[in-house]
Structure 1
């Protein structure tokens, strides 16, 4: 039997044009709610697109119940038509070609396969030809050297923001295949903050605890919304040379984050902008930078993705040889930095396979993010990164 080990790392920010996957919205809201309910006091960031792309690569090699569970969880509109699914995810890569000016975006897949094996012609046609997941033959028996090779590729794709994705002892002679996804974005704000306006200000981590943080400030026109049904307000900051923006959702009460995130479970974050309008906003937003790590397996199991982690896993379309494979572990690691200039983000995922055993009068609004808030980096169709800030 083979086991697939998946590890996802990411750093956060924006992207470019507007092609993509209709599948992400339910997964995005459920992913955020599931993760934060388990770790409510941690700063969190995840990349729905990177996770979906990695799962799509697995789906292309899956059959039977395993394929059905992945298709349902990913809400694949062409479930069963693997070529169409591969093409749909493959169009994400066209965004890398549309990034211009100061915005940088890279999305890349890679297949590392042991010299003992080959991917099946069918999988090759979908994953390699359509999703640009080039296959490289390696010797997993040379574990440390192969891990260094994979890590070097990830570091190059993420501008050295994702390092040591795979530990030296993370591979061994039994490894058959590793699938890797890397995601990187860097962009400046359309309306940049000025360093001299950043001051030390209190951030209320809870009603009982506050700390001093570097709080950025500017007054300009932003998309702004007041959502009574969420008991929150929102502001959207655009990035330069891209149609991606950062949405910030701020609960009206200091301790309102959990209630807000529970309500967001049924909200499409990409559509909130249509209910917002351009207003003059006095914006206070803290600079923040943090890492996040997550065991993905229990999260995915809550989405109904279970068989691929069991003896019943069916990845019979993955390898040329008819070998039994299953997913044994899923990990996620992330990093984000937001400052006066803009945001930088990256993500990487790997799967390790081993033998199984209207008009308004102008007024100015205040938006002071001085207590826990949700953020999403998105365009009108996709959420690329989502998370929350709870403490410093």
Structure 2
């Protein structure tokens, strides 16, 4: 049986997908405002690509791609040659000027953190070893484009540094993400840490009533089920029945109507694997059209289980995006430091947590990267989410903050 505070396994990525009607591969370089819709489609492809790599049978998944993409965009500004080509390709932004790319990512964040009806915040922090000197222009770009904070650390004060970073991540994510750095993780050859965090707390436009929550069946496959706390409510919601692709979609808006959770429920209780084959990076338009083609709000009875998930994601997912050269001793980051140093990405850590209950949703994600000297390797419509489903939280029906699946209990 699953209680409200039970932690479930999940694979995560941090970020935001922007859903727009544009082509994925431009025929010429894009700049300025024309870049924003193209960036949206690129983020979509990143999200579905990573999901395709990390999702396995009967695993809960949740991730926020914009956090990872933002961190990579920061790296793009300091990269060159093969490393730069690889980063651009992993972000599906091969023909985008790296200065434009960073500025647009900054604009993306500013567009959704200003919503007064939802508590949402993001932080970008660069912590540099005091024995390394960053290029002044790199510092200026980071602070202006991403509103980034620059700090220094003394590698000799290992315990203080690890504690400070752990506290910073916890504070920036409302206590949902707990940093796990220990004093032994801090070494003198680490040049800098890069962090991006995303925190969101939102109340449903129409809340579920606690008294209506009761234990009901959740089908793990076509036959096996468990009993889980299931929320109930009736209201007017937008929906989409896609018989061709075999799923139903429901929009559950938050206060202010700019953010919403979308649940994509396979029509068959064991249909999640087939749904995953449909929503591939090459078919991002299918996800976008599913939102665009949603019907007008109709009376709907909703049954939805609690979703309480948390997990870590490591370097493997990033390499699945095609980012490999940056982890080698030949990585090129010449614009980061004043001295020519053999800098490489040694590790990427990502963590996402999400809780969905009667009041609304609280979600947080943190992505961290360590760079170091290379020295080691119309009637009532029933929507009953009683079997594995895919879900995402979106802004303005276009920007997905978190994407995942709910499959099994831990």
Name the TM-score, length of structure 1 as normaliser: 0.89
Cα displacement (A) at 1:125 = 2.9
Q: Which residue of 2 aligns with 1:40?
A: 57
Q: Which residue of 2 aligns with 1:104?
A: 119
Matching residue within 320, 327, 331 for 1:309: 327
Distance in structure 2 (CA, Å) of the matches to 1:294 and 1:378: 22
Distance in structure 2 (CA, Å) of the matches to 1:274 and 1:314: 42
Structure-to-structure mapping, 1:59-208, within 5 angstroms: 59-76=76-93, 79=96, 81-95=97-111, 97-101=113-117, 103-208=118-223
Matching residue within 293, 307, 316 for 1:288: 307
Cα displacement (A) at 1:316 = 1.1
Q: Which has the higher contact order (CA 8 A, sep 6+)?
A: 1
Distance in structure 1 (CA, Å) of the matches to 2:217 and 2:169: 37
Return closer, same or farther for 1:51/1:271 CA change in 2, 3 Å cut-off. farther
Alignment of 1:253 onto 2:268: yes
Task: Provide the aligned length of Structure 1 versus Structure 2.
Answer: 373
1:232–1:249 CA contact under 8 A, matched in 2: yes
Unmatched runs of 5 consecutive residues or more in structure 1: 1-7
Unmatched runs of 5 consecutive residues or more in structure 2: 1-10, 19-35
Distance in structure 2 (CA, Å) of the matches to 1:33 and 1:14: 15
Q: Which residue of 1 aligns with 2:45?
A: 26
Per-residue CA deviations over 1:241-283 (Å, capped at 9, x if unaligned) read 3512111001111111111011111134344221111222111
1:14–1:186 CA contact under 8 A, matched in 2: no
Distance in structure 1 (CA, Å) of the matches to 2:373 and 2:330: 14
Return closer, same or farther for 1:315/1:11 CA change in 2, 3 Å cut-off. closer
Cα displacement (A) at 1:344 = 0.4
1:142–1:172 CA contact under 8 A, matched in 2: no
Name the TM-score, length of structure 2 as normaliser: 0.85
Per-residue CA deviations over 1:126-175 (Å, capped at 9, x if unaligned) read 22221112211111222221111112222221111111243332222221
Return closer, same or farther for 1:318/1:11 CA change in 2, 3 Å cut-off. closer
SS at match of 1:155: helix
Distance in structure 1 (CA, Å) of the matches to 2:187 and 2:225: 47
Matching residue within 293, 301, 304 for 1:275: 293
2:76–2:87 CA contact under 8 A, matched in 1: yes
Per-residue CA deviations over 1:51-108 (Å, capped at 9, x if unaligned) read 11111111111111111111122123762x332122111113324651214x101011
Return closer, same or farther for 1:363/1:13 CA change in 2, 3 Å cut-off. farther
- CA root-mean-square deviation: 2.3
SS at match of 1:344: strand
